[in-house]
Chains A and B, each alone.
Chain A
Amino acid sequence: MPELSKIEEISQGVVAGDRRSIARAITIIENDAPEAKTLISKIYSHTGKAHIIGLTGPSGSGKSTLIEKIVREYRRRGKSVGVVAVDPTSPFTGGAFLGDRIRMQELSTDEGVFIRSMATRNYPGGIAKATRDAVKILDAAGKDIVIVETVGAGQSEVEIIKVAETIVVIHAPGLGDDIQAIKAGLMEIADIFVVNKADRENAEKAITDIQAMLQLNTKEKAWKPPVLKTVALTGEGVPQLIEKLEEHRTFLKREKIGEKSLLRAETELVEAIKEKAVNSIIEELKREGKFQETLQKIMAKEIDPSSAAEKLLHSKFKKAK
């Protein structure tokens, strides 16, 4: 376990943009080591500068290839970029195969790019528990752009909204049930739609399908999600995508807080309170022996878990009063 001085050294390294420190910091966070909290508290004041972009979409839509092209385009414009690519952990073995960076390997030796693969470690929602903090590390390290690529197969990629400011949903023609491949939830959260592989037949149909879906959504919004075309293989349409990303960034700044970033901060605070509160209540109940006692009763079918929880909390609540 790294000692405190070590954490100090790493956090200083992160802020100075040292690659080795960034890598180690992310590991500490991923491992949910006790030092993780200290680390985040030390770098937190340096965050908030990067444009955080979430990219999601069904597998086969060409996400990784497109990201590679997006990164290149940002590099051409003199921006530094961090990428966090998330892949699922096997629920059976706990292992994971992280292969997203294969398509970006040529970028790995570029000093202005940092790519990190993460496994979900069974956190629901398609993003790793640590993703949010890994993004903070890259942000604090001075990356102008941080891109988060999430698992396309889960049912609730919508979790990405907790991490990213601008959300790009990628689709491609010929992915089975066409528009059905984009889940309703994703339609709601997308700031930009991209139809990749736009050189294929049916690309137009995919675009009109998305537009039709968007029109169904009657809620009045200040930002109207555009539908863009790209061909990731050749990079066609990528500069236009970058323009839109920048536009959205400006829009968010203009809107000041931006409903989204407020929502994100709120969610994060709520989650943190929940986690801490729940942990401390449970620990206390265990200390008092009530937890095990109730557990026995549940096992003996004397009481159901939900009523038991109510009862325990009720007694706590009264005591607190």
Chain B
Amino acid sequence: MQSKRKIRVLIAKPGLDSHDRGAKVVARALRDAGMEVIYTGLRQTPEQIVETALQEDVDVIGLSILSGAHRALFPRIMELLKEKGLTEVMVFAGGIIPDEDVPEMKKLGIKEIFGPGTPTEKIIEFVLQNMPKKA
């Protein structure tokens, strides 16, 4: 019998900002590309995001933030993922993240940062190509 594997993605919004237009457009595009998308809703703490990723056993996490708090929140999220043994989960991010912060964020283990104006096609393609090979 063939396995009915689906890509499960968590779209999460850390920080207090409420700009969810981008997060929702991406969520919808990934869903339309055949993925199962879990959305956390606004204003999630790093603890909530990581615990959700664990319970939902997702393959991918997309973080969206426009408040500027990424420098405080992303390191915490990546640290918690490691703590919980979720190292194989692929993480990407989007929102307003200045270019000069990108190297630092990538060093944390965030695979890619998508700035404003990124076509959703590109994000879908990226997810498909970088899907972790899960055991």
Contacts and interface: CB of A to CB of B under 8 A. Distances in A.
Direct A–B contact in complex, judged by CB atoms less than 8 Å apart:
yes
Contacts of A47: none
A66 B3 CA distance: 35
Given A95-B33, A97-B27, A97-B39, A34 B1 contact: yes
Contacts of A248: none
A105 B41 contact: yes
A102 B41 contact: yes
Nearest to A95: B31
A93 B31 contact: yes
- Which interface class (under 10, 10 to 19, 20 to 34, 35 or more) fits B? 20 to 34
Contacts of A27: 8, 57
A115 B3 CA distance: 24
Interface in B121-135: 135
Contact of B40 (A20, A96, A105): A105
A294 B135 CA distance: 40
Contacts of A98: 36-39, 56
Contact of B56 (A33, A93, A99, A116): A116
**Dominant secondary structure at the A interface:** mixed
Which of B1, B3, B35, B47: most chain A CB closer than 10 A?
Answer: B3
Contact of B52 (A24, A97, A101): A101
Given A93-B33, A121-B6, A23 B41 contact: no
B84 A93 contact: no
Given A115-B55, A119-B6, A109 B47 contact: yes
B17 interface: no
Given A24-B57, A31-B3, A117-B56, A96 B51 contact: no
B4 interface: yes
B103 interface: no
A117 B31 CA distance: 14
Contacts of A202: none
B104 interface: no
A98 B37 CA distance: 6
A245 B47 CA distance: 32
A96 B31 contact: yes
Interface string A106-133: 1011000011110101000000000000
A93 B33 CA distance: 6
Contacts of B54: 19-20, 23
Contacts of A30: 4, 6
Interface in B79-97: 84-85
Nearest to A111: B51
Interface of B: 1, 3-6, 8, 27-28, 30-41, 44-45, 47-48, 51-52, 54-57, 84-85, 135
Interface of A: 1-2, 6, 19-20, 22-24, 26-27, 30-34, 89-90, 93-99, 101-103, 105-106, 108-109, 114-117, 119, 121
